[in-house]
C-alpha cells in the first residue's frame, strides 16, 4: 500500500550526511516548502562553512581508498541503488512532486529518467580503458591510462531533484571519485532520500557527503578555495555558473557547467502541425516550463503560425492547475512567489511590446504559486521575453518567412543548450542540424533527455557533457607514461 505523505516525509533524513553519519548542522534549520500550498513540508539541517569543510575532509580522506575499489564493485553499488529506487519509485515520485510541485505523472517520469543514470553508469564503471602503443620513433612504449580526478563538489538546481543529482553521483562513483553534494535549498529532500537509499545499498562512509544549506555562497566558497578539492560540477543558472568559474579559476579546477538555456523551437511550413503541437507541449510544459531544455522561443512560419497558435492555445488552456500529487493535475505551480511575479512581468512586457495573449496571461487561484499556462502570439523579434530564460509556462510565438531568417532568429541568443526543429523535409533537417548553434537538437521531437546521450550546451549554456559515453570522462584524468623500448 502507498505510504501517506506524513509517513513518507518521516522516512526522509533531516541531517547532513558527513563521513557516513547523519549529523545536525551547526546553523538554524531550513524549512522546505510545498509550492502548491506554501506550507512547510519538513525542516532540515543548515550547513555552515565549517560543516562544508568537514564534508570535504571526509571526501578527501576517502578518495585514495575509494579509487582502489574494483570498478565492478563500484558499478554494483550503483546497480543496487538503482534496484532499490525502482522498487520504491512511487515514494521517490511523490517526494519529488511534493517538494517541487510537478504533476505526479511527470515525477514518475523523472524517477525513471534519473534512476537510469545509476544503471547507465553502473555499466560504464567497468568500461574505463586506456591505450598502449609504440612511440613513432620506435624507441619507447606509450601507455595512456585514465584515473579519477579526485574529490568533487556537486551543486545542483531545484527543478529535477533526483535526475540532476544522479547525473553527477553516478559517473563520480563509477570513475572512483568521492564527492560533496550540495542540493538546492528549495528541493533538497529527494537527494537526502537518495543518499539514505545508497547507504542501504552499501555506500562506504565518506564516498558521498551531503550538505544542505541556506547560505550557498558562503558555505561553498571555502570548499572551492580548498586545495583538497579537484573538481566542481554545477547545474544551475549561467549567472551563478560564471561566479563559480571565477572561483574555480583561482584553483585551476576541473569544471563541468550545465547552465541556462533559451531554446528555439522552429516550425516550418512543411511540418506536421499536430506533431509539432505535441512536441511543443512536451518541450514547453515538462516541469511546468521550468527546465533548462524548455522551449523558450517558438519561431513559426508565417503561413502556419495562426494554426499553430490556436492549436497550442487549446492544449495549454485545457491543462488543469493543481497540487502535483493530485491525480487530475496536469500543471503544477511555479517554484515560488518570485517566479510567479516574473511570469507576470514577462507577459506584461510582451503585450506592451506588441504581442497578443492567446490564452492565460495571469496567475491561477489558490494558495500556491500558480500561473496559468500562457500562449503569446505575434511576438515581435527583439521583445524582452525572447532574450530571457522564461522558466515557466509561457510560450511566445514569433513569425518568420524564410529558412535563413528562422536560423538567424534561432541562433540570436548567448545561450546554446538545445534547439527543436519540425520539418518533413530531410534535406532541410540536415541543414538545420548543422546550422543550429546548440549542443543538442530535437528533430521532430520535443524531448532529447536520455541517460545514454551526451547532455550539454555550447556558448553560455556551459562546458562539458553529462550522460552517455562522454559523461564519465568529466570525472577522469588522463595519465601518460613513457617506457623505453626494453630491447634497447
**Min dist. Cβ of residue 201 to ligand NAD (A):** 25
171, 392, 462, 471: which one binds ligand NAD (CB under 6 A): 462
243, 408, 431, 459: which one binds ligand NAD (CB under 6 A): 243
Cell numbers found for residue 249: 579559476
Closer residue to ligand NAD, CB minimum distance, 81 or 296: 296
Determine if 237 is a binding residue for ligand NAD (CB under 6 A).
Answer: yes
Q: Is 177 a catalytic residue?
A: no
Q: Site residues for ligand NAD, window 274-313 (CB under 6 A)?
A: 292
Secondary structure of 254-293 in the HEC alphabet? EEEEECCCCEEEEECCCCCHHHHHHHHHHHHHHHHHCCCC
Stretch that binds ligand NAD, among 27-35, 213-221, 270-278, 399-407 (CB under 6 A): 213-221
User: Of 91, 99, 116, 292, which is the active-site residue?
Assistant: 292
Cβ within 8 Å of residue 146, ≥6 positions away: 128, 129, 130, 473, 476, 477, 478, 479
CB 323 within 8 A of CB 364: no
- Phi and psi at 2, nearest 5°, equal -65, 145
Cell numbers found for residue 161: 531533484
Determine if 158 is a binding residue for ligand NAD (CB under 6 A).
Answer: yes
Q: Site residues for ligand NAD, window 373-392 (CB under 6 A)?
A: 389
- Cα 185 from Cα 164, distance rounded (Å): 14
Closer residue to ligand NAD, CB minimum distance, 209 or 423: 209
Determine if 56 is a binding residue for ligand NAD (CB under 6 A).
Answer: no
Determine if 403 is a binding residue for ligand NAD (CB under 6 A).
Answer: no
Stretch that binds ligand NAD, among 87-95, 154-162, 312-320, 346-354 (CB under 6 A): 154-162
**Min dist. Cβ of residue 475 to ligand NAD (A):** 16
Cell numbers found for residue 462: 556551459
- Cα 115 from Cα 167, distance rounded (Å): 9
Q: Is 258 a catalytic residue?
A: yes
Determine if 106 is a binding residue for ligand NAD (CB under 6 A).
Answer: no
Ramachandran area for residue 326 (φ above 0: left; ψ -120 to 50: alpha; else beta): beta
Q: Are strands 40-44 and 30-33 parallel, antiparallel or unpaired?
A: antiparallel
- The binding site for ligand NAD (CB under 6 A) comprises 155-159, 164, 182, 184-185, 216-217, 220, 235-237, 240, 243, 258-261, 292, 389, 417, 457, 462
Amino acid at each position: 500500500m502507498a505510504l501517506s505523505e506524513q509517513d513518507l516525509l518521516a522516512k526522509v533524513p533531516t541531517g547532513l550526511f558527513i563521513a557516513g553519519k547523519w549529523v545536525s548542522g551547526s546553523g538554524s534549520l531550513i524549512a522546505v516548502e510545498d509550492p502548491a500550498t506554501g506550507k512547510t513540508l519538513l525542516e532540515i539541517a543548515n550547513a555552515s562553512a565549517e560543516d562544508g569543510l568537514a564534508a570535504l575532509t571526509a571526501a578527501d580522506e576517502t578518495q585514495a581508498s575509494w579509487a582502489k575499489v574494483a570498478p565492478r564493485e563500484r558499478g554494483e553499488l550503483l546497480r543496487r541503488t538503482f534496484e532499490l529506487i525502482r522498487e520504491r519509485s512511487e515514494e521517490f515520485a511523490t517526494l519529488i512532486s511534493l517538494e517541487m510541485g510537478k504533476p505526479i505523472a511527470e515525477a514518475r517520469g523523472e524517477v525513471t529518467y534519473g534512476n537510469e543514470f545509476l544503471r547507465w553508469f553502473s555499466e560504464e564503471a567497468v568500461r574505463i580503458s586506456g591505450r598502449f602503443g609504440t612511440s613513432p620513433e620506435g624507441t619507447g612504449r606509450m601507455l595512456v591510462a585514465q584515473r579519477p580526478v579526485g574529490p568533487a563538489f556537486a551543486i545542483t538546481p531545484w527543478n529535477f531533484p533526483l535526475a540532476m543529482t544522479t547525473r553527477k553521483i553516478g559517473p563520480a562513483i563509477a570513475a572512483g571519485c568521492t564527492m560533496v553534494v550540495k542540493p538546492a535549498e528549495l528541493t533538497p529532500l529527494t537527494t537526502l532520500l537518495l543518499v539514505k537509499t545508497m547507504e542501504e545499498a552499501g555506500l562506504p562512509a565518506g564516498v558521498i557527503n551531503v550538505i544542505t544549506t541556506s547560505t550557498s555562497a558562503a558555505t561553498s566558497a571555502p570548499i572551492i578555495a580548498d586545495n583538497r578539492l579537484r573538481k566542481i560540477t554545477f547545474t544551475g543558472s549561467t549567472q551563478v555558473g560564471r561566479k563559480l568559474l571565477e572561483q574555480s579559476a583561482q584553483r585551476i579546477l576541473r569544471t563541468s557547467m550545465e547552465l541556462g538555456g533559451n531554446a528555439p523551437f522552429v516550425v516550418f511550413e512543411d511540418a506536421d502541425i499536430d506533431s509539432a503541437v505535441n512536441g511543443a507541449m512536451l518541450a514547453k510544459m515538462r516541469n511546468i516550463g521550468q527546465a533548462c531544455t524548455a522551449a523558450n522561443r517558438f519561431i513559426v512560419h508565417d503561413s502556419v503560425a495562426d494554426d499553430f497558435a490556436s492549436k497550442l492555445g487549446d492544449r495549454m488552456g485545457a491543462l488543469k492547475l493543481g497540487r502535483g500529487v493530485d491525480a487530475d493535475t496536469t500543471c503544477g505551480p511555479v517554484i515560488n512567489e518570485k517566479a510567479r511575479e516574473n511570469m507576470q512581468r514577462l507577459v506584461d512586457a510582451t503585450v506592451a511590446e506588441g504581442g497578443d495573449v492567446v490564452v492565460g496571461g495571469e496567475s491561477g487561484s489558490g494558495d500556491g504559486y500558480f500561473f496559468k499556462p500562457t500562449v503569446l502570439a505575434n511576438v515581435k523579434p527583439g521583445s524582452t521575453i525572447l532574450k530571457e530564460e522564461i522558466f515557466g509556462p509561457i510560450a511566445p510565438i514569433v513569425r518568420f518567412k524564410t529558412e535563413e531568417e528562422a536560423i538567424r532568429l534561432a541562433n540570436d541568443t548567448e545561450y546554446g543548450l538545445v534547439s527543436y526543429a519540425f520539418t518533413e523535409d530531410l534535406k532541410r533537417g540536415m541543414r538545420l542540424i548543422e546550422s543550429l548553434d546548440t549542443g543538442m537538437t530535437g528533430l521532430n521531437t520535443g524531448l532529447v533527455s536520455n541517460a545514454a546521450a551526451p547532455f550539454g550546451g555550447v556558448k553560455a549554456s556551459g562546458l562539458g557533457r553529462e550522460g552517455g559515453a562522454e559523461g564519465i570522462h568529466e570525472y577522469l584524468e588522463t595519465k601518460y607514461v613513457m617506457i623505453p623500448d626494453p630491447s634497447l
